[in-house]
Chains A and B, each alone.
Chain A
Amino acid sequence: MLAPGCPWPILTSMEHEPSYDLATGRGLMACPKCDALHIEEELELGETARCTRCGTVMAKPRDGAFVQLIALSFTSMVLLVGAVFFPFLEVSAMGFGNASSLFDVALAFADGVLLPLVIAVLAMIIGLPITRAFLLVYVLAPLAQGRKPHRHAARAFRWSEVMRPWSMAEIFVIGTAVALVKVAGLASVHLGPAFWAFCALIFVNIASRAFMCQTSIWDAIEDAGQTVEFHGKPRRAKA
């Protein structure tokens, strides 16, 4: 058997057996960025474990993280619903005064040639963030109460991670600012509550990232006895 080469212990894992098995991979974790093997070991809350080789954060369990993440997910759901239905921009030019929500705008485009652009934009700023919030609550709510995870919890969490780079609320806020500068001087444009909801969403996302420890969530799903049901059925990877 290969010498284990002193893999460095890390990780939260509910099981207390200090053992690992180089033949099956049990009790080991590989750094996704550099492939270095580490032995899973329970971490203190508040500790951050980094890969010994490349320094990538591998686990950072935080006290009450699941409950915080659930609360933050609900907050972003509320903000996103507000962002859809409250006025986003109010324009007054040439005697016109007009306030419009994203919902109004979307309806106005519903049969135009711009529909694909509108759908793509709405997916990135509303659809994906709200789906992620739902998925996270679905995965974490049972875990926070120490119950068995719901069906497909593992898949739900993986999809929520896949969606992460594609939800772009913060980029949308900057885009809005640039657009306003472009029309400045031609009309007075006021930012409505929906714009501020997007700004608040940025801070919710930052807070959520501070509490997010994927490794703890994966371990919790696994330790709660969720077995992935696609065993023995090889499937293609996501795109």
Chain B
Amino acid sequence: MSAPSESNAPVMTAHRAGLIGCHSCGRVWTQDHDQCLRCGAHLMPPDRRSLQKVWAWWFAGLIMYIPANLFPMMSTQTFAGLAGSSESTIIEGVFELIHHGSYDIAIIVFVASIIVPMGKFVAIGWLAIVAGRPATVDQAHTRLKIYEVVEFIGRWSMIDVFVVAILSALVQLGFMASVHPGPAAASFALSVAFTMLSAQSFDARLIWRGLPLRSKSE
């Protein structure tokens, strides 16, 4: 990082200057534009009103997350009945893996399907609540880090959906007699998609609203 000589100088924001920065390409426009003329994205001022969309997707994701945990992800039946027929929810799937002794895979599934989605709800909810409230520069950096982690890691919850899809495909390969994806597979996939949309609609610029306009170093 090439540090500029004026690194301790106060920072001017686009909002403070009466301008709007494009969240998609960074180009700066006057406030009478509502669409970026370079990339076509909708221009939004960094405003707490944009949080409505975050909360809408957040609740949609939460509602979908409840059946995702209560109903079975899939029911399987093997030809020879070796594993018998079984129905398992997300958490039962994890216990099954532990039972088989595959602890590493059990941990992956547990983290991806349980820790990450729950952590995401807490993190996005918390970010949306504190957004726009004055904080210290250090706190703002922490919040931005958390937001970036949430954005990066959220997609990985889809693992369990792919597992169900592949196991269903194994039916076509003549391995298992039947695999029925349970209602939880669809609602879990939707829950992950909705929370991804919730995280994407969060405006990270709100983290910095109300801060003294100082730069990163010291």
Chain A residues near B (Cβ < 8 Å)? 2-9, 22-25, 28-37, 47-56, 58, 89, 91, 93-94, 96, 98, 100, 104-105, 108-109, 114, 116-118, 120-121, 124-125, 154-155, 157-158, 161, 165-166, 168, 171-172, 174-179, 181-187, 189, 214-215, 218, 221-222, 227-228, 230-231, 233-239
> Contact partner of B97 among A58, A91, A181, A234, CB < 8 A?
A181
Bound complex: CA of A9 vs CA of B6, how far in Å? 10
Q: Is the CB of B35 within 8 A of A230?
A: yes
Chain B neighbourhood of A118, CB < 8 A: 165
Chain A neighbourhood of B205, CB < 8 A: 32-35
Q: Is the CB of B108 within 8 A of A52?
A: no
Q: Is the CB of B167 within 8 A of A179?
A: yes
Interface centre among B37, B158, B166 (most CB of A within 10 A): B166
Interface of A (DSSP majority class): mixed
Q: Write the chain A residue with the least CB distance to B37.
A: A228
Bound complex: CA of A143 vs CA of B192, how far in Å? 36
Bound complex: CA of A230 vs CA of B15, how far in Å? 24
Chain B neighbourhood of A51, CB < 8 A: 216
Q: Is the CB of B189 within 8 A of A35?
A: no
Bound complex: CA of A175 vs CA of B175, how far in Å? 18
| 21 contacting pairs across A/B (C-beta < 8 A) | A5-B213, A22-B19, A31-B26, A33-B144, A34-B204, A53-B216, A89-B169, A89-B170, A93-B174, A94-B80, A120-B189, A155-B40, A158-B39, A171-B156, A174-B159, A178-B108, A179-B166, A181-B102, A182-B97, A186-B78, A186-B175
Bound complex: CA of A93 vs CA of B6, how far in Å? 69
Q: Is the CB of B175 within 8 A of A96?
A: yes
Interface residues of B in 70-98 (CB under 8 A from A): 78-80, 82-83, 96-97
Q: Is the CB of A178 within 8 A of B208?
A: no
| B109 adjacent to chain A (CB < 8 Å) | yes
Chain B neighbourhood of A109, CB < 8 A: 168, 172
Q: Are A176 and B162 CB-contacts (below 8 A) given A29-B26, A228-B40?
A: yes
Q: Is the CB of B27 within 8 A of A91?
A: no
Q: Are A47 and B2 CB-contacts (below 8 A) given A118-B165, A158-B41, A179-B163?
A: yes
Q: Is the CB of B28 within 8 A of A53?
A: no
| B42 adjacent to chain A (CB < 8 Å) | yes
Q: Is the CB of B172 within 8 A of A52?
A: no
